[in-house]
Chains A and B, each alone.
Chain A
Amino acid sequence: MSRLTHLEVLESEAIHVMREVAAELSQPVLLFSGGKDSIVLLRIAEKAFRPGRFPFPLMHVDTGHNFPEVIEFRDRRVHELGEELLVASVQESIDTGRVKEETGPRASRNRLQTTTLLDAIETHGFDAAFGGARRDEERARAKERIFSFRDDFGGWDPKNQRPELWNVYNGRIHRGESVRVFPLSNWTELDVWEYIAEENLEVPAMYFAHEREVFARDGMLYAVSEHVELMNGETPFRTWVRYRTVGDMSCTGAVESKATDLPSVVAEIAATRVTERGETRADDRVSEAAMEDRKVAGYF
């Protein structure tokens, strides 16, 4: 009898979590953004439920400011799987007056997604939503349970989390409440990339080094796009970059890189000295507790 590698242990834990949710909650949904973590989630779902169908639909909260190649990839992947995709649109939330668009060169739709997400959860009656968030990403996430209980406003109460023992999860909730479930809680960024390499999973091309027109702001490189307004002194230039995370074009930075394939990306991540959110996400730089505050308000 052989032993499992640490990746096999993490994979098995994630499969177990998904099956528990499918068995105990009545209306789960899997949030799929086209990013690397949710790509792994989809593979875990295949491992948990094939040859059957997924016992839940997929949903993307589309800010309208996503990278076009990610949307193209999202649709293709869903088609290959033969599963159902729902798109919750931030643009629609803006058009119907549910949220107000931020203005100015630093405008971002990051915060607005929370309302769109909560509205979609309510409209469809979802009582559980899978996300690809990992505890190694950020200090508030490091504290969150795998089954993260949310009140009927979608809010997280970090000081009063349900005890979570062994692998025995409590999926009981009242009507209107929900759980956010993070099957990849115990994975690191490097685990995700090693898994993608081992499983030979396709990821959007922007995760690999490519030449792109960018500009520098706050020590990060942003793609030039119609969604971002340049400020005085910001001059676009072309250089070789890749993305470590996939979010909105307005708040996701690129890193300079020559890693054009999976082995070189894995090597780059293994050697990096900066966290992925610290290097590429403006949304987390707002304050010491930016993520905690957003989660309390219902964010992932």
Chain B
Amino acid sequence: MASLASADLLRMATAGSVDDGKSTLIGRLLFDSKAVLTDQLEHVQEASRRRGAGMVDLSLLVDGLRAEREQGITIDVAYRYFATARRTFIIADTPGHVQYTRNMVTGASTADLAVILVDARKGVLEQSKRHAYISALLGIPHLVVAVNKMDLVDYDEDTFDTIVREFSDFARGLTAKDIAFVPVSAKYGDNVVGRSENMPWYGGVPLLEHLESVQVADDRNLSDARFPVQWVVRDHRTDYRGYAGQVASGILRPGDEVLVLPSRMLTKIASIDTYDGPVEEAFAPMSVTIVLEDDVDVSRGDIICHPDDAPELSREIEATVCWMTEAPLRAGGRYAIKHATHAARAVVQEVVDHVDVHTLEPDARADELGLNEIGRVLLRTSKPLAFDPYAHNRATGSFILIDEASNDTVGAGMIS
């Protein structure tokens, strides 16, 4: 028990379409790591029989909605959980089709690692490039390209090498920290959990071993202290007043001189409290309550930081936006914006360019973003936002746009 509870957590996203064997791969990971329980397996065996599949179709473990099982596609993100002795895993299984890009973005936004499926027979398709592009755009530091269906190309080394070369060429333009390539057969389990005997030429480790050993602790931003205030905790009996929130990045300690934005007031941290008592330091992603020395005016949406390392404070923002609704984003459009815990309004000043999700070429002629399109925009907000570039800080560099009439989340923004 102690070993399980202290194992760390890896949040991963998988991208690919059912045709690539994505759901089968996840089913295989769960199955071979013994995370599938007998009633789930019986369920899948029964469903496989009904569908006339020759062997147990592990993809049925994953696709959860009626429509998905009927159509044989993944429509929305499904979350799956498993643990090994070394790590616990949260898998966001995301859909691969262009029309569900917004759901892929949902799953990718919280991931530390993305597994991108490539069908060995088909090679690097536009779709694989799009998945890698979106993963990198969302700041996922680690990519794994799982070259699947190796059984259907006779476990051929040259086929694998060609895909590695082609993908590496393309990925040079992406911001991912590292990319690993693993030749697998999800259907038969080659190189998923155990090493494959069919591919002695492969010198690397099986997929699971890679997932267990990728270093994600170094990805955290420990230098820039950012604390978005969520909630003011008050206790009238004791005159207690503390600012509750989740540390976005950096480290905060009692005694630190801090700057409150946007008011630019300076004060010091008196104490950092939790239900379990005060702590000597707070770092991401801890949820804590900060008590300040001076009686300054602080409210929800403010950001507490160190005075010598403050985020930019501005009403003008340039960001890459993934658009998630039918009605296009155009200059003049007005939306509600939520950035960390701060709510404001935003007006679109300009659509700068638009990236073709098929070719990934930026197109500066574009003056709007349609559903599932990605491009750079200039926004002006009703109140100043304290932000960092997304590349430096996922928490203070991201925002969502909300349609004020429908209340739907219509855009995901990453600040340049």
Contact = CB atoms under 8 A, between A and B. Distances in A.
Interface in A44-65: 46-52
Interface size class of chain A, counting residues whose CB lies under 8 Å from the partner chain: 35 or more
Given A163-B105, A292-B65, A12 B4 contact: no
A143 interface: yes
Q: Which of A51, A135, A274, A289 lies at the interface centre, i.e. has the most chain B CB atoms within 10 A of its CB?
A: A51
B412 A194 contact: no
B77 interface: yes
Nearest to B397: A166
A278 B285 contact: no
Given A16-B287, A48-B244, A274-B37, A163 B324 contact: yes
A249 interface: no
B238 A51 contact: yes
Contacts of B6: 5-6
Nearest to B11: A186
Secondary structure of the B contact surface, majority rule: mixed
A158 B105 contact: no
B188 interface: no
Contacts of A142: 64, 78-80
A139 interface: yes
A143 B23 CA distance: 14
Interface stretch (A87-95, A225-233, A234-242, A263-271): A263-271
A178 to B, nearest CB: 12
A245 B110 CA distance: 30
A169 to B, nearest CB: 8
Contacts of B235: 51-52
Nearest to A43: B275
Interface stretch (A19-27, A99-107, A118-126, A202-210): A19-27
A1 B252 CA distance: 11
Given A15-B287, A164-B409, A143 B65 contact: yes
Interface string B34-53: 00011110010001000000
Given A1-B222, A16-B246, A174-B407, A165 B400 contact: yes
Given A4-B286, A51-B240, A163-B409, A22 B231 contact: yes
B292 interface: no
A174 B406 CA distance: 8
Nearest to B93: A142
A243 to B, nearest CB: 17
Interface string B331-347: 00000101111000000
A190 B408 CA distance: 35
Contact of B285 (A13, A52, A161): A13
A274 B106 CA distance: 30
Interface in A134-190: 135-136, 139-140, 142-143, 158-159, 161-168, 170, 172-174, 185-186, 188, 190
Interface string A1-36: 101111111111101100110110000000000000
Contacts of B336: 172
Given A170-B338, A186-B81, A278-B40, A163 B1 contact: no
Given A52-B233, A170-B402, 8 more contacts: A12-B287, A16-B285, A51-B238, A52-B235, A136-B81, A159-B65, A163-B324, A165-B412
15 contacts: A1-B251, A11-B287, A12-B285, A19-B231, A140-B64, A140-B65, A143-B65, A158-B67, A159-B65, A162-B408, A163-B400, A170-B400, A186-B79, A188-B81, A274-B39
Interface of A: 1, 3-13, 15-16, 19-20, 22-23, 46-52, 135-136, 139-140, 142-143, 158-159, 161-168, 170, 172-174, 185-186, 188, 190, 194, 197-198, 263, 266-267, 270, 272-275, 278-279, 288-289, 292
